[in-house]
Amino acid sequence: MSRIGVFVCWCGENIGRTVDCPAVAEAARRMPGVAHAVDYKYMCSDPGQQMIIQAIAEHRLTGLVVASCSPRMHEPTFRKAAARAGLNPYLCEMANIREHCSWVHEDRAVATAKAIELLRVMVEKVRHNEALKAVSVPITDRALVIGGGIAGIQAALDIADAGHDVILVERAPSIGGHMSQLSETFPTLDCSQCILTPKMVEVAQHPRIRLLTCAEVEAVSGYVGNFEVTVRRKARYVRLDRCTGCGACWNECPVKKIPSEFDEGLGLRTAVYVPFPQAVPNKPMIDTENCLRHKDARRKGIPVTESKVCGKCEAACPIPGKAINFADADELETVQVGAIVVATGFQTLPAAAIPEYGAGRFKDVVTGLQFERLASASGPTSGEIRRPSDGRPVERLAVIACVGSRDPAKGCAYCSKICCMYIAKHAMLFRHKNHHGAAHVFYMDIRAGGKDYDEFVRRAIEEDGVDYLRGRVSRIFERGGKLVLFGSDTLVGEKVELEVDMVVLASAMVPQPGVQALAQKLGVAYDQSGWLTEAHPKLRPVETAAAGVFLAGTCQGPRDIPETVAQAGGAASKVIGLLSRDTLDREPIIARVDERVCDYCTACIKTCPVKAIGTKELKNRQGVLLRRVAEVNAGLCIGCGTCVAACRPKAIDLAGFTDAQLFAEVRALGDFNDIEGRECDGVPHFGPAGCIAGQSVKSGGLDSHPTDAGMEREKHG
């Protein structure tokens, strides 16, 4: 005989305003199996939990129902309270009378009646609950960090410094990300490379970090604590174990006019190349698109090892046995990790998306990143601001804010957040480098929230004399070797026509193209714009919906370096917390197969999204195979219930949500006996205990009247 305790929570006014909580408790006392029912202002508070703990002992309760908020909110709270009182936590359930009831209804009587029904359903469920034991699984003490920008670098270092192994997977030939391209960084104007390079070197030298560059995640399986990740290591054609980065090869490479990605197309590189001098690893790779030998092999349709063309790099390589390796091929490597940090960063809106400003058409209309390269001491102009078209110095500069950002038509409804700051930086840097030059900024609003940020923008305006014009530029065209801007200054209400030498576009930050495919592999959600989504925007900002997968940096949304680093540290601390444990308790909400009933149709095996179901062979004592049945791996099952739905004979059941429990719940919903004065609503229910339309369950039994009122209504309604 069950002795169930019911605890009805007011949630202050949240529930109490709309639901008559004492009446709900009163109704609960009359429900079969309920031994004790009370209501209280805040069940989750300390006194509330104490009430539960005391009642369990006093009334020898065998199960609990807390009628309050969503189980997502407080199920762990109340289950822990139950456990403290010595009751198996899985004998505690919650009836959600807040989100599902008080928050969505206004009529007190109706809401109260519904709360009673929701409660009745859970009481029926608990009557069929069984004690469950958490599944304990070992944890792989190793983390995977995907993306080696400042976010990934910081996360990897923090995790490794705490004593855990890290595999850092970077798609590009070097780590560093966008930060390595920046000249100086707001708000302090320290040189980006100078503060980043030491961290990059630390990554390379850290005994606990394994760095895989030119690598991407191919497939992910497993679950928190035990992921199995397949990494594709792309052919680099240079043996990292042999190469010393001496540079003999790239000095000899005859293909010298390839636009450099690192310099945003403003500088040139060779076909065998190191992306930038401070690259980590500081070793080259061969760009197969442009390498003469690869081109020849492609044209002839032969393996590249059989081509005799060029090969100057190989000849120049001074290493015995050669570090250049034309026989290199992509490799797939499978690694086991316990936690994953996604730090894949951002891109800026491509020029093709902003035709109105002539980006890509007019050479002297440059992007913010191109300007960073021009301003960088290690950049293609050694830090002098010169025009890409003719190399002449820039006398008059215009910077346009919000290019694409806050513009739903461009698919970027959001604010890119960093541009207000870096355009001030750009204008300021320009003025520092050219004291006679003029800098104009076209802006919509200035959003410079942050420590020393507004001061930074003020400095640009007040000390460096940057001309801030509030208004949009409508059009840019070329006239006599100059760029002419048409726009407006909305503060003075005048049209503006400005002739300048160069225009910088603060183009919007956008997610990495293709990051959605990676997110799908990881089970991480993304929003409409493609930014990866955190588990809770306020309270779980670095977690994702996929347990064990965390976010760091701009893959989650636009942000600057300080914020990126802080978030990376946050993600790292979550990973460290996870990896510091030996085992992980997993919810025992897992599927189980009734071997007597299973026909081995394999439907469950094929539908299980995490491949948790395998085959078990049933043999007799002589070892002769009798038949095969499905078998669930408790360590892998995530309790999604897909298999239960797929199994036709219902040979699979989900612990904690068994057929018997769900059936009892449905039955309870169909029971109208307890609701005073409640008449059948005339809608026929096909459920097992459903009402027979037009009659009450009490009087009607299972006699059917196929063409009664309810069906008429369904037919004509």
Partner 1 sequence: MPAEGRQLEKLRHLARHALESGAVSLVIGFAEGTVPGRAAPLFCTAPADADRLIFDGYCTLNLANYLTRPEVRAHQTVALVARHAVAKAVVGLVQESQVDPTRVRLIAIHCPDLDGLQQDVAWTVADGLQTLDEFLPTAAHLHDQELTPERFAAVAQVESKSSHDRWDHFAREFDKCIKCYACRNVCPLCYCERCIADKNQPQWIDTSSTQRGNFAWNIVRAFHLAGRCIDCGACERACPMDLPLMELNRKMKKVVAERFGYVAGYDPKADLPLVTFKKDDPEEFIK
Please give the residues from 628 up to 667 whose contact with ligand SF4 meets the rule CB under 6 A: 630, 632, 637-643, 646-647, 649, 651-652, 654
Q: How far is the CB of 517 from ligand FAD (least distance, A)?
A: 9
Please give the residues from 578 up to 607 whose contact with partner 1 meets the rule CB under 8 A: 596-597, 599-603, 606-607
Q: How far is the CB of 222 from ligand SF4 (least distance, A)?
A: 12
The residue written with tokens 């200054």 in the block is 489
Q: How far is the CB of 586 from ligand SF4 (least distance, A)?
A: 11
Provide the H-helix boundaries in 438-485: 453-462
Q: Is 711 in the site for partner 1 (CB under 8 A)?
A: yes
Start-to-end Cα distance in the chain: 44
Which residue, 118 or 603, is less far from partner 1 as judged by CB? 603
Binding ligand FAD (rule: CB under 6 A), the pick from 564, 576, 593, 643 is 564
Range in contact with ligand SF4 (rule: CB under 6 A) among 188-196, 374-382, 590-598, 675-683: 590-598
- Residue 683, Cβ density class (10 Å: 0-12 exposed, 13-18 middle, ≥19 buried): middle
Q: Is 591 in the site for ligand SF4 (CB under 6 A)?
A: yes
CA 415 vs CA 177, 247, 303, 406, 447: distances in Å? 21, 43, 49, 5, 9
Q: What are phi and psi of 562, to 5 degrees?
A: -55, -45
Please give the residues from 608 up to 667 whose contact with partner 1 meets the rule CB under 8 A: 608-609, 628, 642, 646, 648-651, 659-660, 663-664
Residue 444's closest CA among 502, 487, 503? Answer: 487
Partner whose footprint covers residue 688, from ligand FAD, partner 1, ligand SF4, none (CB < 5 to 8 Å by kind): partner 1
Residue 385's closest CA among 376, 397, 374, 373? Answer: 374
Which residue, 49 or 174, is less far from ligand FAD as judged by CB? 174
Provide the H-helix boundaries in 385-498: 419-433, 453-462
Partner whose footprint covers residue 660, from ligand FAD, ligand SF4, partner 1, none (CB < 5 to 8 Å by kind): partner 1
Which residue, 539 or 626, is less far from partner 1 as judged by CB? 626
Binding partner 1 (rule: CB under 8 A), the pick from 251, 520, 580, 583 is 520
Which residue, 134 or 377, is less far from ligand SF4 as judged by CB? 134
Contact criterion met (CB below 8 Å) for 658 and 652: no
Number of residues that bind ligand SF4 (CB under 6 A): 29
In angstroms, rounded to a whole number, what is the distance separating the alpha carbons of residues 520 and 499? 48
Q: Is 504 in the site for ligand SF4 (CB under 6 A)?
A: no
Binding ligand FAD (rule: CB under 6 A), the pick from 68, 77, 102, 185 is 185
Dihedral angle sign, alpha carbons of residues 509, 512, 514, 520? negative
Which residue, 198 or 614, is less far from ligand FAD as judged by CB? 198
Q: Is 438 in the site for ligand FAD (CB under 6 A)?
A: no
In angstroms, rounded to a whole number, what is the distance separating the alpha carbons of residues 694 and 709? 6
Cis check for the bond before 281: say yes or no (omega within 30 of 0).
yes
The DSSP code sequence of 201-214 is HHHHH-TTEEEE-S
Residue 505's closest CA among 589, 443, 580, 436? Answer: 443
> Which residues face 393 on adjacent strands?
386
In angstroms, rounded to a whole number, what is the distance separating the alpha carbons of residues 529 and 401? 20
Q: Mapping DSSP to helix (H, G, I), strand (E, B) and coil, where does residue 215 land?
A: strand
Binding ligand FAD (rule: CB under 6 A), the pick from 186, 276, 414, 531 is 186
Residue 573 has a CB neighbour count (10 Å cut-off) of: 16
Q: How far is the CB of 626 from ligand SF4 (least distance, A)?
A: 15
In angstroms, rounded to a whole number, what is the distance separating the alpha carbons of residues 261 and 258? 9
> Which residues face 40 on adjacent strands?
9
Binding ligand FAD (rule: CB under 6 A), the pick from 236, 440, 447, 559 is 559
Q: Is 147 in the site for ligand FAD (CB under 6 A)?
A: yes
Site map 330..349 versus ligand FAD, x via CB under 6 A: -------------xxxx-x-
The DSSP code sequence of 87-135 is S-GGGEEEEE-IIIIITT---HHHHHHHHHHHHHHHHHHHHT-----PE
Tokens linked to 472? 């949009």
Contact criterion met (CB below 8 Å) for 611 and 580: no
Q: Is 613 in the site for ligand SF4 (CB under 6 A)?
A: yes
Binding partner 1 (rule: CB under 8 A), the pick from 361, 499, 688, 696 is 688
Q: How far is the CB of 406 from ligand FAD (least distance, A)?
A: 16
List residues binding ligand FAD (CB under 6 A): 146-152, 169-172, 177-179, 182, 185-186, 216, 343-346, 348, 368-369, 372, 418, 422, 425, 512, 518, 553-554, 559-562, 564
List residues binding partner 1 (CB under 8 A): 520, 596-597, 599-603, 606-609, 628, 642, 646, 648-651, 659-660, 663-664, 684, 686, 688, 690, 692, 702-704, 706-707, 711, 714-716
List residues binding ligand SF4 (CB under 6 A): 590-591, 593, 598-604, 608, 610, 612-613, 630, 632, 637-643, 646-647, 649, 651-652, 654
